């Protein structure tokens, strides 16, 4: 498994010009996470949920990588793997040039300062029994960091930084709205000045009117603090404005990875095209040319994914080769990788078996 | 978890700017979930009544000895002049009630019953509290460890709970009390009996607590704040005791309060069977034991310890139910 993905990667050109300047902050190769399905008293393994099944990508310092895909495609699992909240089944994760794939809890501890996570559920991610001050101050205590002027002062500064009042210090999470809680989660994630912040659907639990506020806050903070983001979302509308590059996932695989503009203007993977067609277009004149593509059928089970291309059961361009051969993720243009035999907006990769 | 108490809209609003200005200064000290539970508890009249009775009982038990001397009563002072030498029953109506002996005296010895229930109250409560504390300590630690680490650790602890629950506790208690009668661990007499009761009842009851804590931990550990703590580099003990345990205080308090009355009954049962507190020391179960022989001719004797047990158990149960409703509104 990992061998084939390594091979694919030698083919892919460096995605970014930045790449040459300074190496990637995060480098993921052939990342796999299978959740075993066991049966009976003896816990015999009868199969596996292939939540993440061989993905490769890099994240460069200062950029925002958006990750999109439908529910269940493995986005959260990927996020938990790169923050090492979960143990990969295969592949490697390199952070800042260091292999962290199988670091122990203790070995990971110092790295935790540099990698932080923002969670999806603003109600579940803050301990209801702790005050805001306690929650935002926890990273200092856990990492043994004594900020200048003391923890309390620093926490109050952080609260102000995310648009809350420093006087909220002694209050409890249940006294805040979802949007405010998410700001608290952001303050906690930024406390130790991390290099990389992984945000798993940071706004999808929030009211639409508040989503933009929180996304803009994250964007401002990135500029102010020079952060690098991996932002996970389930559709393209939320992350459109904040992402530099976007990875599209389908059933445990990255099917397209491209610069934002390249992806929006000329999506190559049929699945990306379908996702884009679902994003509301503000200009009614343009609506006709990218008519809404309704995908047929359901997402297949990650326990038993389709052979060849995983999208073939729902793809309107699928041919014989899509059933037999898995399309590798290759760069068809600078900074634009796609895994498809018959891409849109690019030369066909299997002309001998092209769709009619 | 989301409490319906949000008196001012200030905290609930979305616009952070509005919040910055709109917070009245008196609300800045946050209201913890405990305070909210207290507000909810106060509205439950039955539970408050239970709490008042429990507080009274605890005071009475704690001050039982001083109270006895204040009233000039001695639980172990025989008074043959109050006993009919032929029937060995107390002289006079209602089990020998009089101004000197408001609840009457016991048959055969003529000891004051008020003094004896007072004496029994601290025995009952100290055994019940001690045993509950022991079960809660063992059950909480093992339950939270099993629920958090799962896997093999959980399997071992869970099987252990099954074994303990399947144990013929009563037989064991009878055997152990009988064999330790003479003295053990450098203790003898009352201190020995109290320790044995606390140990036997507490040590074999922990699985009830363990199961509740384990089940709650299993669901709590999936909450994102646990991942958040791990993501900041927290180790197991920090997560167990700083993140999870504060969220378990509610159920632990509730089920401890409900465990106390069942332990009172258990202590009474053991003393009734003659393997708990030994005479002449007064205990509610022991008094019942002796009263059985006289229940037709002197029902008053049985009524006194019986009512004491009934009121105590009821008060703790009402308090426990009220606490459950206040601390854990979902489980209603
Ligand atoms: N701990 C686990 N054990 C078993 N299966 C799991 C586990 N976590 C995730 N899965 C499975 O892995 C697949 C991917 O899950 P994941 O949560 O990563 O999806 P997602 O893309 O984040 O979806 P969503 O948009 O709903 O959050 C799903 O089929 C899910 O059921
Ligand atoms: S490889 Fe084939 S099935 Fe898969 S997306 Fe491309 S055309 Fe569709
Ligand atoms: Mg998810």
Mutate to test the pocket of ligand 1, among A33, A34, A35 (most ligand atoms within 8 A of CB): A35
What is the span of the domain harbouring residue A211? Answer: 16-262
Are residues A229 and A277 located together in one domain of the fold? no
Cis check for the bond before B91: say yes or no (omega within 30 of 0): no
Q: Does position A294 have pLDDT exceeding 90, yes or no?
A: no
CA–CA dist B160, B154 (Å, integer): 10
DSSP state of A349: S
Ligand 2 within 6 A of CB of A48: no
Average pLDDT over residues B31-49: 84
Residue range A107-154, pLDDT digits in tens? 999 999 999 999 999 889 999 989 999 999 999 999 999 998 999 999
pLDDT over 50 (residue B21)? no
**Candidates B12, B20, B224; nearest CB to A177:** B12
- When computed from its CA atoms, the radius of gyration of chain A, rounded to whole angstroms, is 21
pLDDT at B15 exceeding the cut of 70 = no
> Of A208, A195, A230, A216, which is closest to residue A68 (Cα–Cα)?
A230
Q: Examine the pLDDT at A50 and tell me if it is beyond 90.
A: yes
Q: Which residue has its alpha carbon closest to ligand 1 atom 30?
A: A72
Same domain, A46 and A167: yes
CA A217 to chain centre: 18
Residue, of B113 and B28, whose pLDDT is higher: B113
Interface of A with B in 79-118 (CB under 8 A): 80, 83, 85, 105, 108-110, 112-113, 115-117
* pLDDT at residue B51 tops 80: yes
Task: Judge if A208 and A334 occupy the same domain.
Answer: no
Do residue A169 and residue A40 come from a single domain? yes
The pLDDT value given to residue B245: 93
Distance (Å) of CA A207 to CA A182, A214, A235: 12, 11, 15
Q: Which residues of B touch A117 (CB under 8 A)?
A: 227-228, 231
- Say which residues have a Cβ less than 8 Å from residue A285's Cβ, sequence separation at least 6: none
Question: Do A188 and A55 lie in a common domain?
Answer: yes
Q: What is the per-residue pLDDT for B136?
A: 95
Cβ–Cβ gap A167/B223 under 8 Å: no
Give the model's confidence band at B162: pLDDT under 50 very low, under 70 low, under 90 confident, else very high.
very high
Which of B30, B224, B249 lies at the smallest CB-CB distance from A175? B30
* Distance between CA atoms of residues B111 and B118, nearest Å: 13
> Residue A10: its pLDDT value, please?
38
Distance A8 CA to ligand 2 centre (A): 17
Helices (H), B169-244: 169-179, 189-220, 224-231, 236-238
Q: Are residues A256 and A276 in the same domain?
A: no
- If asked whether residues A241 and A283 sit together in one domain, one would say no
Segment A213-231, tens digit of pLDDT: 999 999 999 999 999 999 9
Q: Do both A231 and A308 map to the same domain?
A: no
Q: Given a cut of 90, is residue A232 above it in pLDDT?
A: yes
pTM comes to 0.82
Tell me the CATH number at A136: 3.40.50.300
| Shared-domain flag, residues A65 and A185 | yes
Tell which residue, A64, A95, A84, has the closest CA to residue A229: A64
Q: What is the pLDDT of residues A172-204, one digit of tens each?
A: 998 899 999 999 999 999 999 999 999 999 998
Exposure string (b/e) for B66-89, b if CB count within 10 Å is 16 or more? Answer: ebbeeeebebeeebeebbeeeebb
The DSSP secondary-structure symbol of B240 reads I
Q: What integer is the mean pLDDT of B231-257?
A: 91
CB B284 within 8 A of CB B113: no
For ligand 3, a single-atom ion, the residues with CB < 5 A are A 76
**Integer Cα distance of A245 and B261 in angstroms:** 64
What is the count of structural domains for chain A?
A: 2
Higher-confidence residue: A296 or A100?
A: A100
pLDDT, position A298? 83
Residue A135 forms part of a structural domain: yes
What average pLDDT does the segment B71-94 reach?
75
- Residue of A293, A309, A310 to test ligand 2 pocket, by largest number of atoms within 8 Å of CB: A309
Q: Examine the fold and report which residue of A262, A293, A326 is the final residue of a domain before the chain moves on.
A: A262
The answer as to whether A116 is a domain residue is yes
Residue located nearest, by CA, to atom 5 of ligand 1: A35
Count the Cβ atoms, other than its own, within 10 Å of residue B99: 5
Residue B87 has pLDDT above 90, yes or no: no
> Comparing C-alpha atoms, which of A111, A83, A85 is closest to residue A98?
A111
pLDDT reading at B23 higher than 50: no
Across the interface, of A108, A119, A188, the residue whose CB is closest to B227 is A119
CB within 8 A of B73, min separation 6: which ones? B101, B112, B114, B115, B118
Tell me the two tokens of residue B241. 């005791």
Residue % of chain A over a pLDDT of 70: 90
Burial of A5 (0-12, 13-18, 19+ CB in 10 A): buried
Whether residues A230 and A196 fall in one domain = yes
Interchain contact, B223 vs A120, CB within 8 Å: no
Could you tell me if B102 and B299 are in contact, meaning their C-beta atoms sit under 8 angstroms apart? no
C-alpha–C-alpha distance, residues B322 and B136, integer Å: 20
A145-160 as b/e, with b when 16 or more CB fall inside 10 Å? eebeeebeebbbebbe
Report the pLDDT value the prediction gives residue B109, as an integer from 0 to 100.
79
Largest CA distance in chain B: 89
According to the model, what pLDDT value does residue B9 have? 37
Please give the pLDDT value at position B30: 62
Grouping H, G, I as helix, E, B as strand and the rest as coil, residue A29 is: strand
Contacts of B78 (CB under 8 A, 6+ apart): B109, B110, B111
| Shortest Cα distance, chain B CAs vs residue A192, angstroms | 9
Of A211, A231, A262, which marks where a domain is finished?
A262
A2 located within any domain: no
Each residue's pLDDT tens digit, B175-185:
887 777 777 77
Q: What is the band of A296 on the pLDDT scale with cuts at 50, 70, 90?
A: confident
pLDDT band at A283 (very low <50, low <70, confident <90, very high): low
Q: What is the pLDDT of residue A284?
A: 57
B213 pLDDT exceeds 80?
A: yes
Cβ contact B131:B198 at 8 Å: yes
What is the whole-number distance in angstroms between the Cα of residue A12 and the centre of ligand 2?
19
Query: Quick one: A209 and A292 in the same domain?
Result: no
Most confident of B3-7, B51-55, B85-89, B275-279: B51-55
> How many Cβ atoms sit within 10 Å of the Cβ of residue B42?
13
Strands A90-95 and A26-39: antiparallel
Residues A106 and A20 in one domain: yes
Residue A4 domain-assigned? no
Q: How many whole angstroms separate alpha carbon A28 and alpha carbon A57? A: 5
User: A16 pLDDT exceeds 60?
Assistant: no
Size of interface A-B (CB pairs under 8 A): 115
Q: Is residue A1 part of a domain?
A: no
In a domain, A348, yes or no: no
User: A262, A296, A314 — which closes off a domain?
Assistant: A262
* Fold observed for domain B59-74+91-331: MetI-like fold (1.10.3720)
Looking at residue A108, what is its pLDDT? 92
């Amino acid at each position: 498994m990992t061998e084939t993905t390594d091979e694919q990667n030698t083919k892919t050109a460096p995605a970014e010009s930045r790449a040459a300047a300074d190496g990637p902050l995060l480098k993921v190769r052939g990342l796999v996470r299978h959740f075993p399905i066991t049966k009976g008293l003896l816990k015999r393994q009868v199969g596996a949920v292939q939540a993440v099944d061989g993905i490769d990508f890099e994240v460069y310092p200062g950029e925002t990588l958006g990750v999109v895909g439908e529910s269940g495609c493995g986005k959260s699992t990927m996020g938990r793997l790169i923050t090492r909240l979960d143990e990969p089944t295969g592949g490697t994760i390199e952070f800042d040039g260091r292999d962290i794939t199988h670091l122990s809890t203790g070995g990971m501890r110092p790295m935790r300062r540099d990698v932080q996570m923002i969670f999806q559920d603003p109600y579940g991610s803050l301990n209801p029994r702790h005050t805001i001050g306690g929650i935002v101050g926890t990273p200092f205590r856990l990492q043994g960091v004594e900020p200048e002027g003391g923890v309390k002062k620093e926490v109050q500064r952080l609260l102000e930084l995310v648009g809350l009042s420093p006087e909220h210090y002694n209050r409890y999470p249940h006294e805040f709205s979802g949007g405010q809680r998410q700001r608290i989660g952001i303050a906690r994630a930024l406390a130790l000045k991390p290099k990389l912040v992984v945000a798993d659907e940071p706004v999808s639990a929030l009211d639409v009117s508040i989503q933009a506020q929180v996304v803009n806050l994250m964007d401002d903070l990135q500029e102010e603090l020079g952060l690098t983001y991996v932002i996970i979302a389930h559709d393209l509308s939320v992350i459109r404005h904040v992402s530099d590059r976007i990875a599209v996932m389908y059933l445990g695989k990255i099917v397209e990875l491209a610069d934002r503009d390249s992806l929006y203007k000329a999506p190559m993977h049929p699945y990306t095209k379908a996702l884009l067609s679902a994003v509301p277009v503000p200009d009614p004149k343009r609506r006709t040319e990218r008519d809404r593509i309704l995908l047929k059928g359901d997402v297949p089970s990650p326990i038993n994914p389709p052979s060849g291309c995983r999208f073939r059961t729902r793809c309107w361009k699928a041919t014989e080769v899509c059933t037999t051969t898995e399309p590798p993720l290759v760069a068809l243009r600078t900074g634009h990788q796609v895994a498809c035999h018959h891409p849109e907006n690019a030369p066909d990769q299997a002309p001998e078996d092209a769709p009619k | 978890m989301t409490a319906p108490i949000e008196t001012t809209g200030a905290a609930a609003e979305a616009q952070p700017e509005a919040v910055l200005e709109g917070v009245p200064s008196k609300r800045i000290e946050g209201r913890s979930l405990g305070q909210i539970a207290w507000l909810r508890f106060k509205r439950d009249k039955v539970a408050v009544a239970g709490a008042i009775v429990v507080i009274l009982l605890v005071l009475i038990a704690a001050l039982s000895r001083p109270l006895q001397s204040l009233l000039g009563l001695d639980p172990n002072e025989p008074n043959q002049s109050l006993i009919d030498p032929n029937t060995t029953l107390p002289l006079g109506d209602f089990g020998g009630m009089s101004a000197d002996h408001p609840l009457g005296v016991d048959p055969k010895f003529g000891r004051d019953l008020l003094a004896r229930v007072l004496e029994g109250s601290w025995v009952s409560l100290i055994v019940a509290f001690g045993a509950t504390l022991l079960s809660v300590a063992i059950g909480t630690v093992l339950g939270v460890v099993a629920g958090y680490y799962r896997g093999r650790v959980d399997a071992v602890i869970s099987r252990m709970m099954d074994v303990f629950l399947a144990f013929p506790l009563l037989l064991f208690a009878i055997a152990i009390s009988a064999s330790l009668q003479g003295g053990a661990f450098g203790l003898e007499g009352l201190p020995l009996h109290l320790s044995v009761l606390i140990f036997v009842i507490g040590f074999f009851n922990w699985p009830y607590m363990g199961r509740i804590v384990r089940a709650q931990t299993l669901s709590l550990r999936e909450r994102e704040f646990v991942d958040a703590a791990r993501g900041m580099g927290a180790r197991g003990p920090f997560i167990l005791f700083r993140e999870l345990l504060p969220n378990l205080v509610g159920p632990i308090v509730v089920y401890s309060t409900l465990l106390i009355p069942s332990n009172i009954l258990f202590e009474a049962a053991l003393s009734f069977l003659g393997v708990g507190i030994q005479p002449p020391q007064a205990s509610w179960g022991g008094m019942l034991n002796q009263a059985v022989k006289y229940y037709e001719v002197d029902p008053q004797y049985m009524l006194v310890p019986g009512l004491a047990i009934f009121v105590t158990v009821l008060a703790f149960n009402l308090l426990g139910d009220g606490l459950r409703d206040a601390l854990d509104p979902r489980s209603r």
